[in-house]
Homo-oligomer: A and B are copies of this chain.
């Protein structure tokens, strides 16, 4: 997923602020934390994803000569001294990145990524980090619900054409797989991440032949194993009748339109009456977790689902309130100062934090967010791990199949109610007394100062 001009894929204000820091706070060390300000109404948990891309970006962060030339052209930089552009030529990420592992089930309030670096570097990377976590966590969180609804039937991710561009298609395929999908239709995602790829034929294939049965015969000859025919190009019962008459061994049929409950029942009956009980039925066509749950609850004879648009755009919740906030600065003299934005009732806890996931027996009971320096709670496992230390990688990102297994394992450790929808269940995230006190103290100080 290397990206041309990645360093430039940022908001202009990250660059103006960087220039500002360069001339006024070059030696200040900052800690920023990335977290979800709140969970949307129809999400009770999120599946964190997007870290792999961030690590690659940070380790290769550079500005090219033409990029710097473009930045300099801006009217805003008219009065900025040459030394800043000399700095940009040499800049790289020299800081420390802590993060919860990809695939971790996370909640609002808790930091999922923490960056400690010279303030210029920590600021410059904001937009890229947010955009990367946003798309992957968004889709992984939606996909986890779809996978649950279909379980134990497998879900394939088929959304490349309706994802928000071709990059989003690849990232969505990765996120959906991590969250439990069995595979993707996207070939690039298959090649880059080792995700199983699936696909057979479109309606166009059938239409390109004078007779539907010719299209089936030709396809079966070329792809005699794992053959799946699309059967709704013209008339479903007629297509099934043709398959029965063909007498070839095929693996399945795909229904892509109409009412999937009625159609799957009719198709099953028709196939079974011809003794073709082993031909599987796959359903696709604007499905989501709600429609799949309805099909499952009514015992639709569907053996697998292809899900696209609704999942890769996270249609019922197409964005997450993900933010990256300055929580602490360390001045050149060593003074550590917790920071936070105060206005408009958005509560933000100051200071560098850690998150512990507390267990009882084999179940998670709550998360505990505290200052990084506070005492470790008993039976708590820390979630933030170090991936980059002073600009050097110190921990590998697991293969996607391993991360997928990690998601599945975690699901067993939470109360099952977390995965219901709709549901009023809320997992408990506790904020330490230390953090609450610091928040109140800072708030008082700010009000007195302003």
Q: A residues bordering B, Cβ < 8 Å?
A: 2-6, 8-17, 19-21, 23-25, 28, 30, 32, 67, 70-71, 74-76, 78-80, 119, 123, 126-128, 130-132, 134-135, 138, 158, 160-172, 185-188, 190-192, 197-205, 207-208, 210-212, 218-219, 222-226, 232-236, 238-239, 257-258, 309-310, 313-315, 318-320, 322, 325-326, 329, 337, 339-344, 346, 446-447, 449-450
Tell me the smallest distance from the CB of A133 to a CB of chain B, in Å. 9
CB of A369 to closest CB in B, whole Å = 20
Chain B hits for A16, CB < 8 A: 199-201, 223
Q: Is the CB of B161 within 8 A of A127?
A: yes
What's the least CB distance linking A147 to chain B, in Å?
20
Within 8 Å by CB of A79, from B70, B71, B224, lies: B224
A/B interface sample: 11 pairs, CB < 8 A: A5-B191, A8-B191, A9-B166, A12-B186, A20-B201, A20-B222, A70-B191, A79-B224, A123-B204, A167-B168, A207-B341
Q: Which of A9, A11, A130, A185 has the most CB of B within 10 A?
A: A11
List of B residues within 8 angstroms of A346 by Cβ: 257
A207–B171 contact, CB under 8 A?
Answer: no
- Is the pair B188, A8 in contact by a Cβ cutoff of 8 Å? yes
Question: A179 CA to B188 CA in the complex, in Å?
Answer: 31
A11 touches B75 (CB 8 A): no
Given contacts A9-B170, A165-B168, A168-B167, contact A15 B199 (CB under 8 A): yes
Q: A346 to B258, alpha carbons, bound, how many Å?
A: 10
Query: Of the candidates B23, B76, B168, B203, which one forms a contact with A168 in the assembled complex, judged by CB atoms under 8 Å apart?
Result: B168
Which of B14, B132, B163, B190 is close to A166, meaning CB atoms less than 8 Å apart? Answer: B132
Report how far A325 CA is from B233 CA in the complex, Å.
12
Instruction: List B contacts of A119 (CB < 8 A).
Output: 208
Docked-complex contact B164 and A138, CB < 8 angstroms: yes
Instruction: Give bound CA distance, A161 to B123, whole Å.
Output: 13
How many copies of this kind of chain does the complex include?
Answer: 2
Task: Name A318's closest neighbour in chain B (CB-CB).
Answer: B318
B161 touches A131 (CB 8 A): yes
Q: A15-B199, A187-B11, A309-B319 are in contact. Are A2 and B3 (CB under 8 A)?
A: no
Contact of B208 with A158 in the complex, beta carbons under 8 Å? no
Which residue on B lies nearest to A171, using beta carbons? B165
Chain B CB count within 10 A is highest, among A164, A168, A309, A326, for A164
Tell me which of B32, B171, B314 contacts A204 (CB under 8 A): B32
Given contacts A162-B319, A344-B232, contact A200 B13 (CB under 8 A): yes
Complex CA distance for A74 and B322, rounded to whole angstroms: 38
Give Cα A233–Cα B319 distance, bound, in whole angstroms. 24
**Further contacts, 5 of them, CB under 8 A, given A10-B187, A162-B322, A315-B319:** A8-B191, A9-B188, A10-B188, A119-B208, A126-B161
- In the complex, the chain B residue whose C-beta lies closest to that of A5 is B188
Contact B28 A208 (CB under 8 A): yes
**A216 and B428 alpha carbons, distance in the complex (Å):** 40
Residues of B with C-beta under 8 A to A212: 450
Q: Which residues of B contact A318 (CB under 8 A)?
A: 313-315, 318
Query: B132–A450 contact, CB under 8 A?
Result: no
Least Cβ–Cβ distance between A340 and chain B, in angstroms: 7
| A128 B257 Cβ-Cβ under 8 A | no
Taking the nearest CB of chain B, how far is it from the CB of A172, in angstroms? 8
Residues of B within 8 A of A232 (CB): 343-344
Do A10 and B74 have beta carbons less than 8 Å apart?
A: no
Closest chain-B Cβ to A88's Cβ sits at a distance in Å of: 12
In contact, B13 and A127 (Cβ under 8 angstroms):
no
Instruction: Please give me the residue from chain B that is nearest to A136 by CB atom.
Output: B165
Report the Cα distance A142→B70, complex, angstroms.
Answer: 29
